[in-house]
């Protein structure tokens, strides 16, 4: 059995103020008419009929509305992606000991869905054919310092055309290294998509995060007995105490037998307002607008409004976002720094706006 597991529990603070605790990024329609989560579910149904969503307990109703028919697992507390995927693997092994997981973020944009489907098929196939963990490495389009990268090793023709061993993962390099990676052609962006047999993932957790594995075993024992109530109770009891670590740091960087399938399909992590701007057409002066907005005598601005009108006169290089009861203004080249505003609001006792 193949199952696409969608990780949809994030808060998306880099897209504040449009992304809020009550409606985080994955539930926004960014660069299209579908929400990011709904688009992800639709794309994945083509390659994996079974879809499972792991999300925060207070986002279950919203996830169910975006993905009718999908299995939804609720996290009692946010414990990052290693625990979330471990929870999914525990449920899947109880259904099918040979289940293969394809893990995907809920909040990415894909421009070429046919190319995406072909690459995902190759990655699923690699995980099914060998005792490996497969990931998709994205062809870089710029020397990005905000992404994790991976370095390709030797070819693995036994797993399919184009599959390579992963020599190492590189976390957010500096500008010089990122430029060298692009020029060298042996490094790809790590898009956070992983393919592995559920049982193999649980074995890796046992080896690398034994306390997490022990907690998941309690849930698995209840599932093996067919006792859904006991499994829910065990999840509520043990999950909040699991270590909070990403699947990249907690498992992938130390795992053996990790391979990559290169892909290029118009991918974006939609991780900042600058990234949102890349999905929209500009006005000929480099200004990108969404909603009722005008720019006079300015260039290189990103303007978003979900209500009312925003007018810019004689300014350039700004990101101006009006969403609900909040307005954000910052230089467009500091779009990754929205977290500073979120932290400042928290410190000022204004968390109600988050």
Judgement on whether residues 247 and 338 belong to the same structural domain of the protein: no
Domain-located, residue 274 = no
Instruction: Kindly report the CATH number assigned to the domain that includes residue 154.
Output: 3.90.550.10
Strands, E assignment, the chain: 2-7, 50-56, 71-75, 100-105, 109-110, 133-138, 148-155, 164-171, 187-197, 258-263, 267-268, 288-290, 293-296, 302-305, 310-313, 318-323, 326-331
Share the mean pLDDT of the chain. 94
Domain-located, residue 273 = no
pLDDT confidence bin for 12, thresholds 50/70/90: confident
Asked whether 301 and 310 are in contact (CB, 8 A), the reply is no
pLDDT digits (tens, 9 = 90+) for 289-321: 999 999 999 999 999 999 999 999 999 999 999
Predicted confidence at residue 22, as pLDDT, reads 86
- The average pLDDT across 105-109 equals 94
Domain-located, residue 276 = no
Predicted confidence at residue 120, as pLDDT, reads 97
Domain-located, residue 148 = yes
Judgement on whether residues 54 and 184 belong to the same structural domain of the protein: yes
Judgement on whether residues 342 and 231 belong to the same structural domain of the protein: no
Predicted confidence at residue 11, as pLDDT, reads 76
* C-alpha span between 187 and 169 (Å, rounded): 9
Asked whether 321 and 310 are in contact (CB, 8 A), the reply is no
Q: Give CA angle at 92 (91, 97), nearest 5°.
A: 125
- The average pLDDT across 250-279 equals 92
Predicted confidence at residue 146, as pLDDT, reads 85
pLDDT digits (tens, 9 = 90+) for 218-239: 999 999 999 999 999 999 999 9
More confident residue, 12 or 152: 152
Radius of gyration of the chain (CA): 21
Judgement on whether residues 48 and 188 belong to the same structural domain of the protein: yes
Task: Check pLDDT > 90 for residue 61.
Answer: yes
Judgement on whether residues 258 and 300 belong to the same structural domain of the protein: no
Judgement on whether residues 173 and 304 belong to the same structural domain of the protein: no
- The average pLDDT across 94-108 equals 96
The helix (run of H) or strand (run of E) holding residue 301 is none
How many secondary structure helices (H) and strands (E) does the chain include?
11, 17
Q: Among residues 227, 245, 268, which one ends one of the domains?
A: 268
Domain-located, residue 61 = yes
Domain-located, residue 161 = yes
Judgement on whether residues 139 and 8 belong to the same structural domain of the protein: yes
pLDDT digits (tens, 9 = 90+) for 151-205: 999 999 999 999 999 999 998 899 999 999 999 999 999 999 999 999 999 999 9
| CB-based contacts of 344, cutoff 8 Å, min separation 6 | none
Asked whether 55 and 105 are in contact (CB, 8 A), the reply is no
Q: Among residues 208, 237, 268, which one ends one of the domains?
A: 268
Tokens of 281: 């057409």
Judgement on whether residues 286 and 263 belong to the same structural domain of the protein: no
- φ/ψ bin of 317: left (φ > 0), alpha (ψ from -120 to 50), beta (otherwise): left
Alpha carbon of residue 283 to chain centroid: 30
pLDDT digits (tens, 9 = 90+) for 271-286: 889 888 988 889 999 9
pLDDT confidence bin for 52, thresholds 50/70/90: very high
Tokens of 245: 């670590």
First to last CA, the chain: 40
More confident residue, 297 or 23: 297
Judgement on whether residues 134 and 60 belong to the same structural domain of the protein: yes
Asked whether 132 and 258 are in contact (CB, 8 A), the reply is yes
Which domain does 342 fall in, by range? Answer: 282-353
More confident residue, 116 or 144: 116
Q: Among residues 244, 268, 292, which one ends one of the domains?
A: 268
Predicted confidence at residue 31, as pLDDT, reads 72
Judgement on whether residues 51 and 187 belong to the same structural domain of the protein: yes
In eight-state DSSP terms, residue 12 is: -
Predicted confidence at residue 132, as pLDDT, reads 96
Tally of domains within the chain: 2
Judgement on whether residues 263 and 317 belong to the same structural domain of the protein: no
Judgement on whether residues 106 and 227 belong to the same structural domain of the protein: yes
Strands 71-75 vs 50-56: parallel, antiparallel or unpaired: parallel
Helices 36-45 and 113-129: crossing angle, nearest 10°?
60
pLDDT confidence bin for 10, thresholds 50/70/90: confident
45-80 in b/e burial notation, b at 16+ Cβ within 10 A? eebbebbbbbbbeebbebbeebbeebbbbbbeeebb
Domain-located, residue 333 = yes
Task: Check pLDDT > 90 for residue 345.
Answer: yes
């Amino acid at each position: 059995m193949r199952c696409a597991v969608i990780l949809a529990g994030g808060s998306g603070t880099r897209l504040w103020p449009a992304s809020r605790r009550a409606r985080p990024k994955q539930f926004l329609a960014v660069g299209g008419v579908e929400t990011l989560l709904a688009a992800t579910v639709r794309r994945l149904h083509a390659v994996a009929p079974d879809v499972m969503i792991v999300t925060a307990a207070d986002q279950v109703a919203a996830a169910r509305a975006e993905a009718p028919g999908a299995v939804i697992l609720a996290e009692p507390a946010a414990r990052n992606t290693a625990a979330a995927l471990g929870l999914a693997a525990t449920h899947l092994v109880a259904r099918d000991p040979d289940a293969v997981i394809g893990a995907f973020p809920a909040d990415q944009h894909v421009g070429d869905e046919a190319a995406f489907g072909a690459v995902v098929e190759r990655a699923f196939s690699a995980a099914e054919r060998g005792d490996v963990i497969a990931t998709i490495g994205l062809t870089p389009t710029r020397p990005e310092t905000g992404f994790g990268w991976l370095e390709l090793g030797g070819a693995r023709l036994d797993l399919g055309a184009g599959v390579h061993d992963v020599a190492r993962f590189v976390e957010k390099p500096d500008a010089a290294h990122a430029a060298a990676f692009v020029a060298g052609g042996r490094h790809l962006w790590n898009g956070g998509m992983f393919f592995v047999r559920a049982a193999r993932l649980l074995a890796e957790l046992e080896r690398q995060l034994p306390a997490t594995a022990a907690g998941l075993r309690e849930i698995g024992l209840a599932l093996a007995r067919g006792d859904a109530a006991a499994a829910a109770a065990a999840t509520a009891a043990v999950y909040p105490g699991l270590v909070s670590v990403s699947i990249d740091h907690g498992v992938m960087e130390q795992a053996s037998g990790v391979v990559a399938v290169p892909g290029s399909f118009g991918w974006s992590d939609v991780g900042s307002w600058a990234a949102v701007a890349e999905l929209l057409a500009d006005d000929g002066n480099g200004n990108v607008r969404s909603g009722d907005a005008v720019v006079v005598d300015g260039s290189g601005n990103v303007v978003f409004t979900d209500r009312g009108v925003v007018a810019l006169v004689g300014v350039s290089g700004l990101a101006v976002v009006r969403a609900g009861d909040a307005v954000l203004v910052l230089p467009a080249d500091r779009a990754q720094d929205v977290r500073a505003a979120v932290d400042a609001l928290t410190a000022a006792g204004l968390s109600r706006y988050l």
